[in-house]
Amino acid sequence: MRFGTEDLVVRYAGSARAALDGVSMSVPDGCLYAVLGPNGSGKSTLMKALLGVVRIRAGRALVDGRDVRTWTRGEVARAVGVVPQGEAIAFPLTARELVGMGRYPHLGALRGEGEGDRAAVAHALSACDVTDLAGRDVTTLSGGELQRVRIARALAQEPRALVLDEPTASLDIRHQMAILELLRASADSGMTVLVVTHGLDMAARFADRMLLLSRGSVAAEGAPAEVLRAEVLREVYRWPIAVREDPATGVPRVTPLRSGEATGA
Amino acid sequence: MTRRFTLTLALVLALAAAVLLGIRFGAVPLTTADAIRTLAGKGTAVDRTIVLELRLPRALLGALVGGGLALAGATLQALLRNPLAEPYILGISGGASVGAVLVLALGLAAAGSWVLPLAAFVGAVVAIALVFGVATAAGRAMDVRVLLLAGVVVAAFFSACIAFILSMSQARTVQSAVLWMMGSMAGADWGSVVLTAAYTLPAAALLLGLARPLNLMAIGEETAHYLGADVERVKRLALLLAALITAAGVAVVGVIGFVGLVVPHAVRLLVGSDHRVLLPLSFLGGAAFLTLADLVARLALAPTEIPVGVITAFVGVPLFLVLLRRSLST
């Protein structure tokens, strides 16, 4: 599944500045694509525009080459699994029930879960390594566990693409790596994965391509080595930054500098 | 699965028992055999009058209103993602009370038994319109936080209206107004049963059809949207249905607290938060609970009737605290 935008403009009501100001980008099929940028640069807005939940002022957002405004809500829900940033789950709910909600787009108002639905849920639970948590109340899970359960819900949709907003925020190294490995494996199996993140180094390790946004515009797009260049990052983040190739992994490593440290560029 | 089945069975039996007990007991006690014979259309003329004209409509009204309040409460808790939500949170009881108190203060209630319920219903509808109007005026999407705040503020305004009207009224009017506001099913007849059923049952059926979208709404509007729910439509429709059920109940029996808050929580503690189970069981639970509470209200200090709202709180609070404590210890 492919995503793309053409000169996309989004402006929120009551805001003078456009949240997205003429953004063009494209996510090829089966690609792990990272959307990067400072706070307020338009990352989440771009994600929402691609999912058809914010009003587009000009330009187009394309899902599989088709204008997102021509997709019905149900079509998007059957094709794209989304893990939004926060969910305030107010009432007790088991992990199995939460993951089971991923099947709703495939069920009518009244039809119950069938064999295929149960198989999809079981597969999603095992892919995210949360089968053992199925009977637990989600309000008692740790941050890492809950995040994996939420990703399992998106996988249970059996989507052709995954879209995740900050999936590794506030997780420790082990849980971050586990989730990113899972996303990498999903992309390798042909799923398109779009991740909004602040983790430049992690994105460099896992993403095929990345987009760097700055105040609603594209600052750079391409392979990690093309996007993560010190002079671009310094401009975008307005902070002295050094970029070196990591000897252990061979990918760029981004280091924000303290005052007085040389840029090394 | 078995737990759900057990609770369903228990609640159905409790409701049937509550209705039967409601028919048997009163100023003239009947045997179970007499009660069943009379329900089947036989029995003496006196028994028939007692059962068919007085006790059966009263028991059915209790079941309809109790079930409706619990269902409305469960719906509002999901939509507002707030465990403190209950059917009256949008100011509906306040609006209904202003209508009723006004009618009592102006001495219009004597014009017919239909005047008071009509005035209360109109008051409730005004409250709903006001709160919805405020919550939607700001933008296209309805913000449930604004809705909640508007409900609280509108309720405060209505209670000021009530205080003003009562302060200008005679002692007798004040007493009948206060009694009305505490809720009672003493005025039950087939007219009120049919009227309440006409609002409650279709609205309840529609709400049950929204169980899956309500599951999604309970975890967040953004997620609900991504999982295919038409968030704005679900929100408006479910709120309107819950409000209508509440308005119909309040108009007929006054303000009966606690059923709409506690029953959904109790059911949730026992069977979880899946609304496909929670909604129907809340209805059954509310129906059984209010019918039994009304029985106690009639019998405990007979021939004096205790306001049924007092009983719902007296019985509901300890029951709920026990359930809450048990859920914390497991």
Instruction: State the pLDDT at residue A16.
Output: 84
Give pLDDT tens digits for B87-132. 888 888 889 899 989 988 888 877 777 788 888 889 988 998 888 8
Residue of A nearest to B81 (CA): A90
Residue of A nearest to B206 (CA): A109
Put simply, whether B38 touches A (Cβ < 8 Å) is no
**In this structure, is the dihedral angle defined by the CA atoms of residues B232, B234, B236 and B239, taken in order, positive or negative?**
negative
The domain of B223 spans 2-329
The DSSP symbol for B142 reads P
Distance CA A124, CA A83 (A): 14
Could you say which residues of chain A have pLDDT below 50?
A: 265
Residues from chain B that touch A105, judged by Cβ atoms under 8 A, are 227-228
Contact check, Cβ <8 Å, A84/B220: yes
A60: left (phi over 0), alpha (psi -120 to 50) or beta: beta
Contact check, Cβ <8 Å, B227/A97: no
pLDDT in tens, chain B (330 residues): 578 889 999 999 999 999 999 888 887 888 888 888 888 878 788 888 888 888 999 999 999 999 999 999 999 999 988 888 888 888 888 898 999 899 888 888 777 777 888 888 899 889 988 888 888 765 566 788 888 888 889 999 999 999 999 998 888 888 888 888 888 888 888 988 998 999 899 999 999 999 999 999 999 889 999 999 999 899 989 988 998 999 888 888 988 888 999 999 989 988 888 999 999 999 999 999 999 999 999 988 878 888 898 898 888 888 878 877 877 765
Cβ within 8 Å of A, B 118-177: 139
Residue of A nearest to B207 (CA): A109
Q: What is the value of ipTM here, to two decimals?
A: 0.91
Minimal C-alpha gap between A131 and chain B (Å)? 19
Longest dimension (CA), chain B: 63
- How many Å is the Cα radius of gyration of chain A? 19
Residue of B nearest to A103 (CA): B227
The DSSP symbol for B91 reads S
Question: A260: burial class by Cβ within 10 Å (0-12, 13-18, 19+)?
Answer: exposed
CA distances from A244 to A105, A202, A251, A253, B103 (A): 45, 14, 8, 5, 81
Minimal C-alpha gap between A88 and chain B (Å)? 6
Q: Which two structure tokens, joined as six digits, stand for A127?
A: 């892919």
Short-list B242, B238, B289, CA closest to B262: B289
Residue by residue, DSSP assigns B153-196 as HHHHHHHHHHHHHHHTS-HHHHHHHHHHHH---TT--HHHHHHH
Report how many domains make up chain B.
1
Put simply, whether B48 touches A (Cβ < 8 Å) is no
**A241 phi, psi to nearest 5 deg:** -140, 140
Contact check, Cβ <8 Å, A89/B274: no
Contact check, Cβ <8 Å, A87/B77: no
Distance of CA B265 to the CA centre of its chain: 15
Query: What is the torsion angle, in degrees rounded to the nearest 10, for the CA atoms of residue B109, residue B114, residue B116 and residue B118?
Result: -140
Which candidate from A51, A104, A109 shows the least CB-CB separation from B216? A104
Give pLDDT tens digits for B303-313. 888 889 889 88
Distance CA B184, CA B253 (A): 5
The residues, ordered by sequence, that sit 6+ positions from B16 with a Cβ below 8 Å of its Cβ are none
Minimal C-alpha gap between A94 and chain B (Å)? 8
Which candidate from A73, A78, A157 shows the least CB-CB separation from B230? A73
The CATH number given to whatever domain includes residue B241 is 1.10.3470.10
Which residue has 């003078």 as its token pair? A16
Instruction: State the pLDDT at residue B140.
Output: 60
Each domain of chain A, given as residue ranges in start order, spans: 3-228
Instruction: State the pLDDT at residue B330.
Output: 56
SS (H, E, C) chain A: CCEEEEEEEECCCCCCCCCEEEEEEEECCCCEEEEECCCCCCHHHHHHHHCCCCCCCEEEEEECCEEHHHCCHHHHHHHEEEECCCCCCCCCCEHHHHHHHHHHHHCCCCCCCCHHHHHHHHHHHHHCCCHHHCCCEHHHCCHHHHHHHHHHHHHHCCCCEEEEECCCCCCCHHHHHHHHHHHHHHHHCCCEEEEECCCHHHHHHHCCEEEEEECCEEEEEECHHHHCCHHHHHHHHCCCEEEEECCCCCCEEEEECCCCCCCCC
Minimal C-alpha gap between A77 and chain B (Å)? 5
Q: Which of B227, B261, B270, B330 to mutate to test the interface with A (most CBs of A within 10 A)?
A: B227
Give pLDDT tens digits for B58-88. 999 999 999 999 999 999 999 988 888 888 8
Residue B276 in contact with residue B214, Cβ under 8 Å? no
Alpha-helix residue ranges (DSSP H) falling in chain B: 2-24, 32-39, 45-48, 56-79, 92-105, 115-137, 144-167, 171-182, 190-209, 211-219, 221-226, 231-253, 259-271, 275-299, 308-329
Instruction: State the pLDDT at residue B173.
Output: 86
Residues from chain A that touch B215, judged by Cβ atoms under 8 A, are 97, 101, 104
Residue A196 in contact with residue A43, Cβ under 8 Å? yes
Which candidate from A76, A87, A94 shows the least CB-CB separation from B223? A87
Residue type, A181: E
Q: Which of A91, A101, A106, A118 to mutate to test the interface with B (most CBs of B within 10 A)?
A: A91
In terms of residues, how long is chain B?
330
Contact check, Cβ <8 Å, B228/A97: no
Distance CA B176, CA B182 (A): 10
Residue A197 in contact with residue A34, Cβ under 8 Å? yes
Buried b (16+ CB within 10 A) or exposed e, A21-45: bebebebeebbbbbbbbbeebbbbb
Distance CA B28, CA B46 (A): 10
Distance CA B231, CA B216 (A): 9
The residues, ordered by sequence, that sit 6+ positions from B322 with a Cβ below 8 Å of its Cβ are none
Q: Is B255 helix (H, G, I), strand (E, B) or coil?
A: coil
Put simply, whether B225 touches A (Cβ < 8 Å) is yes
Instruction: State the pLDDT at residue A265.
Output: 46
CATH no. for A3-228 = 3.40.50.300
Distance CA B264, CA A217 (A): 49
Distance CA B50, CA B35 (A): 10
